Amino acid sequence: MVTKDGKEMRDMIKVSAPATIANLGPGYDLMGMALDRPFDILEVEFNQDGEDAISVTGVGSETISNALNNASLVAGRAVLKKTGNEKVKLSMRLNKGVPPRMGMGSSGASSAAGAFAVNELLGRPLEPEALLICAMEGERASCGAAHADNVAPALFGGVIVITDYSPIRVCRLNVIEGAEIVVVSPELELAQEKTKLAREVLPKEVPLSKLIAQMSAFASLIAGITNKDLKLLGSGVSRDVIIEPARSVLIPGFKDVKEAALSNGAYGCSISGAGPSLFAIAPEGEGIRIGKAMKDAFGSHGVEAAFSTHKCNKEGARVV
Ligand code: HSE
């Protein structure tokens, strides 16, 4: 394959991009963290003739579009467009490891993988922020909003704060260390457009008093991460007064599950991304105990749930 600059490129690549937790409580659309697993795996080939095509296998693949609006394909095409290689066609094989619609950044992982893979195949013409803009197009295709709080950590790894959207600017914070991240996922009937719906329930306006409370929670979150103070970090995570109250009504037993996490010693607990999973920041070695307590709390509301424990992942999308 030869790009428009006449460079000879490799024709095929296999990449992975991790699950992520967006918002981290009060950081709606502004904060996200990469997890150590699971991953989406994407193989991409340049296709000189023919059409764009994608096949999807793996966890929940039956619910993922394999048409031109697939997040990986949209993000990959955005890179081709930005680099003047529109004529190139893509052939993709996406193996989903990140479960769709659980609040673990499934579309973010697929979008990050699509943009990252095509940029690698082209010899890395795009700088990180230009690459992020392309990955965000995958999110837009998936849920109607080009938010960056899943795609940014899925691309770059670690904990990311978005410091501006116009133009997009991101900043990498300390990786969360000395804690386990517990993710508890309830088995609920979910609409196909779950994230879009979970965004529609949010208030359009908030009183100043709530804004101040939210800013203090966000400040605690940032200061806790920066100062490696897990208690402060956790108190910030747990004090979302705007998004969590609006969304928690969509999660049966939410209040008791959160209470189970906190009363069992979690530093903090909130909704993972747009839900319905919850996440808790647990002291090291306590993740399984806290996960069980949260699962049982769901059980007392007649809701089956599964939990997993994680570490914050320094690494984002990479060639495998
Ligand atoms: N910030 C996004 C939201 C993340 O909460 O809607 C989920 O995709």
| Distance, C-alpha 52 to centroid of its chain | 25
Q: Same domain for 164 and 209?
A: no
Residue whose CA is closest, atom 6 of ligand 1?
274
Q: Is the CB of 21 under 6 A from ligand 1?
A: no
Q: Same domain for 221 and 285?
A: yes
Q: What is the 3-state secondary structure (H, E, C) of the chain?
A: CECCCCCECCCEEEEEEEEEEECCCCCCCCEEEEEEEEEEEEEEEEECCCCCEEEEEECCHHHCCCCCCCHHHHHHHHHHHHCCCCCCEEEEEEEECCCCCCCCCHHHHHHHHHHHHHHHHCCCCCCHHHHHHHHHHHHHHHHCCCCCCCHHHHHHCCEEEEEEECCEEEEEECCCCCEEEEEEEECCCCCCCHHHHHHHCCCCCCCHHHHHHHHHHHHHHHHHHHCCCHHHHHHHHHCCCCHHHHHHCCCCCHHHHHHHHHHCCCCEEEECCCCCCEEEEEECCCHHHHHHHHHHHHHCCCCCEEEEEECECCCCCEEC
165-206 confidence digits (pLDDT tens): 999 999 999 999 999 999 999 999 887 788 888 999 999 999
| CATH number of the domain residue 164 falls in | 3.30.230.10
92-112 confidence digits (pLDDT tens): 999 999 999 999 999 999 999
Q: Which one of the listed residues 139, 180, 244, 286 is annotated catalytic?
A: 139
Q: Same domain for 31 and 162?
A: yes
| Distance, C-alpha 209 to centroid of its chain | 29
Q: Same domain for 52 and 136?
A: yes
Residue 114 confidence (pLDDT) above 60 = yes
Which tokens belong to 255?
């209040």
6-54 confidence digits (pLDDT tens): 666 678 999 999 999 999 999 999 999 999 999 999 999 998 778 999 9
Tally of domains within the chain: 2
Predicted confidence at residue 65, as pLDDT, reads 87
Classify residue 4: in a domain, yes or no: no
Q: Same domain for 17 and 164?
A: yes
Classify residue 2: in a domain, yes or no: no
Classify residue 51: in a domain, yes or no: yes
Mutate to test the pocket of ligand 1, among 102, 104, 165, 195 (most ligand atoms within 8 A of CB): 195
Residue whose CA is closest, atom 4 of ligand 1?
273
Helix (H, G, I), strand (E, B), or coil: what is residue 166?
A: coil
Which amino acid is present at 174? N
Domain of 30 in residue numbering reads as 12-174+314-319
Q: Same domain for 260 and 290?
A: yes
Distance (Å) from CA 33 to ligand 1 centroid: 12
Assessment of whether the complete model's pTM goes beyond 0.75: yes
Distance (Å) from CA 28 to ligand 1 centroid: 7
Which tokens belong to 224?
């806790």
| CATH number of the domain residue 212 falls in | 3.30.70.890
Helix (H, G, I), strand (E, B), or coil: what is residue 212?
A: helix
Q: How many CA atoms lie within 13 A of 18 on its CB side?
A: 26
Which amino acid is present at 83? T
118-127 confidence digits (pLDDT tens): 999 999 999 9
Classify residue 265: in a domain, yes or no: yes
Q: Same domain for 117 and 265?
A: no
Percentage of the chain with pLDDT > 70? 97
Q: Same domain for 305 and 208?
A: yes
Q: Same domain for 164 and 16?
A: yes
Predicted confidence at residue 7, as pLDDT, reads 61
